[in-house]
Amino acid sequence: MLEQYLDINPEVAAALAAGKPVVALESTIISHGMPYPQNVETALKVEQIIRDNGAVPATIAILKGRLKVGMTHEEIEYLGKAGLDVIKTSRRDIPFIVAKGVDGATTVASTMILAQMAGIKVFATGGIGGVHRGAQQTFDISADLQELANTDVTVVCAGAKSILDIGLTLEYLETQGVPVIGYQTSTLPAFYTRESEFGVDYQLDTPAQIAAAMKAKWDMDLKGGIVVANPIPEAHQLDRAMIDQVIADAVAEMDSKGIFGKASTPFLLAKVAETTKGVSLAANIELVFNNAKLAANIAVEYAK
């Protein structure tokens, strides 16, 4: 049934069949999260970092209605060039993109779904979606959080961006039973900066400890994902006050323009990159590299 829709790249399929480590990667970060050509350069380098650390990368998207787990470099280039023309695809969108036979860039939520279909347990990205600022009024809560509640994949990210309400995002994850692990940190990283004022649920200091927690959780059929929050490397973090101001201005502009729904996150990401003249983009790229390495290390440990 599933095979009717799913194309697992041969290298990825061989690795999975042999129980070797594989790391899933999303594609909305390519199409909607970064501008061309940095998006494509980053996506390809991320795959290389995963290989250098002993795992096989599987970049995930929907192409002409086919669920792709593992893309070619040409496919990544195509998706990156198409950018915002590709439909941002979360859980609700998947059946329509497939039935129409069109292209879709997968968010954290839908990448988790496709990873689970293929049997991949570790996924690296930059930032997850969360509870947006003002969600008390707007109800804007990313479908990523609900997916983390239900789908058995570990997502390595750089914590929560302050385009989100970090405190409410943690409350939501707690209610949904999703553990938030700090990698070598006891405070939740805030994406561009290594720290926020919020604590994580557990600090773990090695990939082996994280792999052991994953195994325990899923051996006991405790459904759902795990968030691993990995602080941006010290040398690349931004000034907290500066970035918070940039984000506050971006949120105000979004509200005044009446932008909402699935357009919110891409608007805020683009605005922040534009205002900081690429300084935030450079930090974003570095933290994704850092997450790719940790995800590969976790996948290697989990495969032992």
- The residues annotated as belonging to the active site are 26, 161
State yes or no: residue 287 binds ligand PSU (CB under 6 A).
Answer: no
Binding characters for ligand PSU, 148-177, by CB under 6 A (x = yes): -------------x----------------
Structure tokens belonging to residue 282 = 């450079």
Provide the greatest CA pair distance for the chain: 53
Is 26 or 286 the residue whose CB approaches ligand PSU more closely? 26
How distant, in Å, are the alpha carbons of 40, 235, 256 from that of 62? 17, 35, 33
State yes or no: residue 127 binds ligand PSU (CB under 6 A).
Answer: yes
Query: Which window, 77-85, 102-110, 134-142, 178-186, contacts Mn ion (CB under 5 A)?
Result: 134-142
State yes or no: residue 224 binds ligand PSU (CB under 6 A).
Answer: no
- Number of residues located near ligand PSU, criterion CB under 6 A: 18
State yes or no: residue 144 binds ligand PSU (CB under 6 A).
Answer: yes
Residues 92-131 that bind Mn ion (CB under 5 A): none
* Ligand-binding site membership of 140 (annotated): yes
| Binding residue for Mn ion, selected from 140, 144, 147, 286, defined by CB under 5 A | 140
State yes or no: residue 33 binds ligand PSU (CB under 6 A).
Answer: yes
Structure tokens belonging to residue 116 = 């689970």
Single-letter code of the amino acid located at 247: I
Q: Which sign does the torsion angle of CA 112, 116, 118, 124 carry?
A: positive
Binding characters for ligand PSU, 246-285, by CB under 6 A (x = yes): ----------------x--x---x----------------
Is 108 or 168 the residue whose CB approaches ligand PSU more closely? 108
Is 32 or 121 the residue whose CB approaches ligand PSU more closely? 32
Nearest to 134 by CA among 273, 227, 264: 264
Query: Which window, 142-150, 165-173, 225-233, 296-304, contacts ligand PSU (CB under 6 A)?
Result: 142-150
Query: Which window, 92-100, 122-130, 177-185, 205-213, contacts ligand PSU (CB under 6 A)?
Result: 122-130
What is the C-alpha to C-alpha distance for residues 29 and 42, in angstroms, rounded to an integer? 10
* Ligand-binding site membership of 142 (annotated): yes
Residues 98-117 that bind ligand PSU (CB under 6 A): 107-108
Q: Report the partner that residue 242 touches, choosing among Mn ion, ligand PSU, none (CB closer than 5 to 8 A by kind).
A: none
Is 47 or 144 the residue whose CB approaches ligand PSU more closely? 144
Q: Minimal distance in Å, beta carbon 130 to Mn ion?
A: 9
What is the C-alpha to C-alpha distance for residues 16 and 118, in angstroms, rounded to an integer? 8
Annotated binding site: 88, 108, 140, 142-144
Judged by the rule CB under 6 A, the positions of this chain that interact with ligand PSU are 26, 28-29, 32-33, 90, 107-108, 126-127, 129, 142-144, 161, 262, 265, 269
Annotated binding site for Mn(2+): 140
